[in-house]
Chain A
């Protein structure tokens, strides 16, 4: 009997061993691409990061922990690193510059379910999927590391192609890069480019790579003698693709598209801590798709406006947001800045959006402060991990806000528009500032200027499904109609 038991146990252990080790063999080797930092720069002294035993170059990039507008704000820095992989990587993080030992850590988004281990001040965790990961140390949101685990590059352009500008690793500077029809700019991983990229009246343009566009060599745009240097600036262009790069330390807003169409943005990362540092901001554009992106911003994170004509067909999908200032997903305030005939904003989709933090103003907002007809706007599967809106002097701290009101940004002050057919299907709030459901607000303007047909569905706040407007704390005035929660 003893012998049989022993054999059984040994067989069991062997099976376990095969189970544990087997998948590693079955999944094949991990493919990992690392990028040396420029020789002119030094890796961060705040953080040390390795993947599968290989050290990463860690950049210190500007962020801002101030959550009220300040024209002369001074950003601070936080560490950021990136690499490409396919397979499985073990990440090790030490934070020698933190000032206190690391005793705990969280890896965001929480939905990824990554449980880091902390041993003797080192954080360990495993990644099996590319994506944007944020590590917060010791429960202090001001102590964070952003780690961008890119998928392996595909379709790298040929440096010999006369239509390709190929910028390799290293630190580079030039005043501006203007791309024309059929041109490609490749910014290699390991490259830090101090410049701006303009696509004006051009088509069939591609910007790709893994490198950084770094605006740190210019003062904030609103300071004396400075001016806005927009890292990616598209206007009146079409068929533009931007993939894989990161925008850091911009001295103003970040990814701007104006009166352009057919624009595809994938795996672009933005970290911004300076004045008016909006993330992806599109004015009077059509057919734009933004997927697999990240935006930590010191102004609106995802923005749609009308500057000269209407907006139609904008999709944001699988985007992570960290909003240090202003709104997370903003439509407005300018909805007819160009005083055009019958302006509209329509067919806009925000899908699979994770708001890691919002510290200031509404997460979901439509501020139609001119006279546009805003309609067919969908928010689907929105997760707000930390809804910590403090607002301004007690105002503008709603979770959802839709208004037809004049504002400081109004061009049309004597006429108003309307909002119709808004669907919020799947809204999950995991944490709030006071442990309560945040308020929401809808305000129409008059009999002819109403907010109509707003449907909320599958809403969960702090773990509790919400099925009535009272529990949702959603208030609206008499110029709103058919506001329902299902």
Chain B
């Protein structure tokens, strides 16, 4: 009997001193909610954000005559050099240091140019802004004539953050854009990720 009493006492003490043995490791009654994941084979665009690409301003078909061609401009901001505007990538960009800002492309031959497109990074992180732009053309790189007068163009990620400037066909070996304002509060200069020239 003494042994039994001892064993019971030890058990009781264990229960008192180590509640974890009774509570901690025995899982409590649990009401569980499991949030399940959809079937996917790759990361997708969230359905609550429709793809805006369908609303993008279309660019002309045909060769972009400015792509990779020699380009010159005035002073630029930080690392945002002019060669970024015709490297084929919209995640790099040119930013001038102040206004007016000129940027000129050498097309490498004479073409009948009809359209110039100016693109910013299409990401919606680039908030809407307005830039004022004129287009000039030249066959010798010396004498430029106005192909499209200065006009304000709205850039909006909802339409691809791009604008196109259409004008009557003009002979051009050189195309120059002159930027005279940018409404963005984040910069004091002109901005362009890509400038494209089309016949």
Contacts of B20 in A (CB 8 A): 117, 126
Q: Which residue of A lies closest to B21 (CB)?
A: A20
Given contacts A34-B33, A196-B125, contact A174 B49 (CB under 8 A): yes
Contacts of B43 in A (CB 8 A): 38, 40, 171-173, 192, 194
Instruction: Report the bound CA distance from A167 to B87 in whole Å.
Output: 35
Given contacts A32-B33, A126-B20, contact A176 B5 (CB under 8 A): no
Contacts of B12 in A (CB 8 A): 9, 12-13, 16
Q: Is the interface of A mostly helix, strand, loop or mixed?
A: mixed
The residue that B23 contacts in the complex, of A126, A165, A166, A178, with Cβ under 8 A, is A126
A8-35 CB contacts (< 8 Å) to partner B: 9-10, 12-13, 16-17, 19-21, 23-24, 27, 29-35
Instruction: Report the bound CA distance from A170 to B157 in whole Å.
Output: 25
A175 within 8 A of B: yes
CB distance from B157 to the nearest CB of A (A): 8
The answer to whether A52 and B41 have CB atoms under 8 Å apart is: no
Inter-chain residue pair count (beta carbon < 8 A): 163
The answer to whether B48 and A176 have CB atoms under 8 Å apart is: no
Instruction: Output the residue of A9, A27, A193, A198 with the most chain B CB within 10 A.
Output: A9
Contacts of B49 in A (CB 8 A): 165, 174, 177
Instruction: Report the bound CA distance from A16 to B13 in whole Å.
Output: 9
One digit per residue, 1 when the CB lies within 8 angstroms of any chain A CB and 0 when it does not, for chain B 117-148 equals 00000111101000000000000000000000
Given contacts A6-B1, A9-B9, A170-B38, contact A178 B28 (CB under 8 A): no
The answer to whether A38 and B8 have CB atoms under 8 Å apart is: no
CB distance from B187 to the nearest CB of A (A): 14
Given contacts A126-B23, A173-B43, A176-B125, contact A33 B35 (CB under 8 A): yes
CB distance from A288 to the nearest CB of B (A): 22
Contacts of A75 in B (CB 8 A): none
Q: Which residue of A lies closest to B51 (CB)?
A: A174
The answer to whether A31 and B31 have CB atoms under 8 Å apart is: yes
Q: Which residue of B lies closest to A35 (CB)?
A: B35
The residue that B35 contacts in the complex, of A5, A34, A52, with Cβ under 8 A, is A34
CB distance from B142 to the nearest CB of A (A): 37
The answer to whether B15 and A165 have CB atoms under 8 Å apart is: no
Instruction: Report the bound CA distance from A221 to B30 in whole Å.
Output: 44
The answer to whether B19 and A20 have CB atoms under 8 Å apart is: yes
Given contacts A23-B23, A39-B39, contact A178 B46 (CB under 8 A): no
B78 within 8 A of A: no
Contacts of A201 in B (CB 8 A): 127
Q: Which residue of B lies closest to A32 (CB)?
A: B32
Given contacts A5-B5, A178-B124, A196-B125, contact A190 B27 (CB under 8 A): no
Q: Which residue of B lies closest to A176 (CB)?
A: B125
Contacts of B27 in A (CB 8 A): 52-53, 90
A188 within 8 A of B: yes
The answer to whether A172 and B45 have CB atoms under 8 Å apart is: yes
Contacts of B26 in A (CB 8 A): 90
Q: Which residue of A lies closest to B20 (CB)?
A: A126
The answer to whether A36 and B37 have CB atoms under 8 Å apart is: yes
Chain A residues proximal to chain B, CB less than 8 Å: 2, 5-6, 9-10, 12-13, 16-17, 19-21, 23-24, 27, 29-40, 52-54, 87-90, 117, 124-126, 165-178, 188-190, 192-194, 196, 198, 200-201, 227
Give the 5 A-B CB pairs with smallest separation, nearest first: A20-B22, A176-B125, A16-B15, A29-B29, A171-B43
A-B contact list, 26 entries, CB within 8 Å: A16-B15, A16-B16, A19-B16, A20-B19, A21-B22, A24-B23, A33-B35, A35-B34, A38-B37, A38-B40, A40-B42, A40-B43, A54-B34, A87-B28, A126-B25, A166-B48, A167-B48, A172-B44, A175-B123, A175-B124, A178-B125, A190-B37, A193-B46, A196-B125, A198-B125, A201-B127
